[in-house]
Structure 1
Amino acid sequence: MGENREWIKLWPEGAPLAQGSGDEDVPALQYFPVQGTGRGAVIVVPGGGYGMRADHEGEPIALKLNEFGIPTFVLRYRVAPYRYPCALTDVQRAIRYVRHYAEKWGIRADRIGVLGFSAGGHLTASAGTMYDAGNPEANDPIDRLSSRPDAIAPCYPVITLQPPHYHEGSRINLLGDNSDEDFAAQLSCHTRVTPDTPTTFLWHTADDGAVPVENSLLFAAACSMNKVPFELHVYESGQHGLGLAENDPHVASWMRLCGEWLIKHQF
């Protein structure tokens, strides 16, 4: 899908830690613009256990967000055999990149959001809890900008990388087979929430058999403890990886709710 849309390389000269020059080595954005200017933008992060990127969690989501008048980008981030911190570096660069070119695209630089699914939800939550203000001394003007998103929407996300509620495949692909438990704890996003964490929209299904609903509950509880504005929707049933959930009208309501939430926050 989206074959006719140009991929915008985040590092035209090559990404940090890149091991080649093929598509899987080249983090990039695909732009889904809307008519008019002055809106915020959302970066969509497909899931896939940090081993691939699911097509149904990319372009279809971007096009649906376009229906709300929101400019959207789909992120091609690096997955296994790439390990941490490559994917995080990619999403941070994407946020800075969109912020840098916001005026050119008619986008509000102070309204850059990230919405991601499953392992892409972990990357989304990581972006919202592991950002920096930019390097004012950097030669590249993009690197001088903040990587903090203005809103995040982790959808049936992987949040914890530790038992009993973690997704083993995502952890192995991100950290390797022999990852240290302390390090896994540090990259469990609910442990990194602070009062400065961006406003958050979460949704999950209560009987998700791949990524337990406790992942979203842990993040929501951390937001509550830190007085971070958040919205949480837990649907009674539905398999993991539903995307738009077009075959389940009840669960499909998440997109309308999320679109309304983004508009409420001036996207």
Structure 2
Amino acid sequence: MFTTENTINEILTDEFVKAHLSFLFPDDFLAIVPDDMRDAPVKILAEKLKMPWGIPYLSQDLVDSANMIHEFMESDAYEFVQLWDISTDKDYFPVADGTKDSVCLLKYKDTFNAGKHMALVVPGGAYFNVAVGGEGTLTAQELAKAGYAVAILNYRVAPNRYPEPQKDLALAIKTMRYFGNEAGLKDDLLVIGYSAGGHLVASESCYPKEIDELLLEDLNKNHPMVYEKIKDFSVKADKVCLSYPVINCISDNHEDSFVNLTGRDESLRNKLSIDMNVTSEYPKTFVWACDDDDLVPPSNAKRMYEALLAAGVQAKLATYPTGGHGCATAEGTSAEGWLCEMLRFFE
């Protein structure tokens, strides 16, 4: 087991961790650390360095990710499920290489018991990486405790462009419904998206018919076995939670997310400003943000809430004074109770 007393160089001497760490802890997070600090205890990094969005370096997350890499591989409680392939390779462990092969569900296998509700977690990362560690794993653990059958989605990001991530999410939703049907779960799916993952969930929920048609066309042409398996299941979430989401691409926008998703395709700004396009068909939604978020303006959450109300959709907005951006389950901040508040709203 690694601890914060270990150095980055010590952690990366483990060849398995070195090969797969990027799945949970993106390479660009490691790149923040200068060479002359890679032999310092990881705990020192939190005192000396900051993440791009202003919080102390994620030293504990780095250590937790390294340990979790081994846990995922060695424990029977987890299963990686390739979505664009029906692989039965038990040694499959995804590499964050941006291809369809990297698109998977991290399935908390022991939670898939008859009668449970389902939950799918969609981490953020500005459509540049996917924060499976932290936003993904912390949320999945809490949902498992709350009695949900839960999985985390790893989806394609830049240089893949719209609508490829949306197709990945649609395929994940169909696959979750397939699993639910097989295990006798309730046909009731909650999808939780964070930051740019919130935009991904919001956009797929806004254009389910269009995304489904694109997905099925791709599957029928290139992945016929997957097509036959999931073609009849719905791509639309029953309930949606948008956590400090990217919503508008024109005003108070997070420009990096838009650029990474579209490659600067200006023709998509209006379409991907989701608050401008919601209809009464949108799923019941809980949206929340922190007032001190200085990366994605919390006005995005408010815009979405007001648009949903105007469209006649059941929705709730929760705002919290502290928590910033990327706080996930928000332990130790005023937003710490958001997950319980969200579950009460839906249940």
Aligned equivalents of 2:290, 2:321: Cα separation in 1: 6
Residue 75 of structure 1, aligned match among 136, 153, 157: 153
**Deviations 1:167-221 (CA, angstroms, capped at 9, x unpaired):** 0111111011x321x4111011112211110000111012310000111111101
Gaps of 5+ in 2: 1-67, 88-93
Aligned equivalents of 1:105, 1:123: Cα separation in 2: 27
Residue number in structure 2 paired with 1:94: 172
Q: Determine which structure has more spread, i.e. the larger CA radius of gyration.
A: 2
Aligned equivalents of 2:203, 2:331: Cα separation in 1: 28
Q: Where do residues 15-34 of structure 1 align in structure 2 (5 Å cutoff)?
A: 23-24=96-97, 25=99, 26=101, 27-32=103-108, 33-34=110-111
Secondary structure of the residue aligned to 2:246 is coil
Aligned equivalents of 1:48, 1:189: Cα separation in 2: 18
* Residue 7, structure 1, aligned to residue 80, structure 2: yes
Q: Give how far 1:126 is off.
A: 1.3
Q: Where do residues 47-62 of structure 1 align in structure 2 (5 Å cutoff)?
A: 47-54=124-131, 55-62=133-140
Aligned length: 252
Residue number in structure 1 paired with 2:7: none
Q: Which amino acid aligns with 2:83?
A: L
* Residue 130, structure 1, aligned to residue 223, structure 2: no
Normalising to structure 1: TM-score of the pair? 0.88
| 8 Å contact from structure 2 (residues 112, 183) kept in 1 | no
**Deviations 1:101-144 (CA, angstroms, capped at 9, x unpaired):** 212223222x1121010000101111221112956996623123
Secondary structure of the residue aligned to 1:38 is coil
Gaps of 5+ in 1: 15-20
Aligned equivalents of 1:238, 1:244: Cα separation in 2: 10
Aligned equivalents of 1:92, 1:192: Cα separation in 2: 19
Aligned equivalents of 2:324, 2:301: Cα separation in 1: 15
* Residue 155, structure 1, aligned to residue 249, structure 2: no
Residue number in structure 2 paired with 1:41: 118
Aligned-pair RMSD on alpha carbons?
2.1
Q: Which amino acid aligns with 1:87?
A: P
Aligned equivalents of 1:183, 1:36: Cα separation in 2: 41
Q: Which amino acid aligns with 1:167?
A: H
Q: Which amino acid aligns with 1:171?
A: F
Aligned equivalents of 2:345, 2:173: Cα separation in 1: 20
| 8 Å contact from structure 2 (residues 291, 320) kept in 1 | yes
Bigger relative contact order, structure 1 or 2, given CA contacts below 8 A and separation 6+? Answer: 1
* Residue 260, structure 1, aligned to residue 344, structure 2: yes
Aligned equivalents of 2:323, 2:164: Cα separation in 1: 31
Normalising to structure 2: TM-score of the pair? 0.68
Q: Give how far 1:7 is off.
A: 1.1
**Deviations 1:38-89 (CA, angstroms, capped at 9, x unpaired):** 1221110011111011110001100101111011110000011111111100
| 8 Å contact from structure 2 (residues 329, 336) kept in 1 | yes
Q: Which amino acid aligns with 1:165?
A: D
Q: Which amino acid aligns with 1:144?
A: D
> 1 or 2, which has the higher helix percentage?
2
Secondary structure of the residue aligned to 2:208 is coil
Aligned equivalents of 1:194, 1:243: Cα separation in 2: 28
| 8 Å contact from structure 2 (residues 113, 183) kept in 1 | no
Residue 220 of structure 1, aligned match among 289, 301, 305: 305
Aligned equivalents of 2:327, 2:336: Cα separation in 1: 9
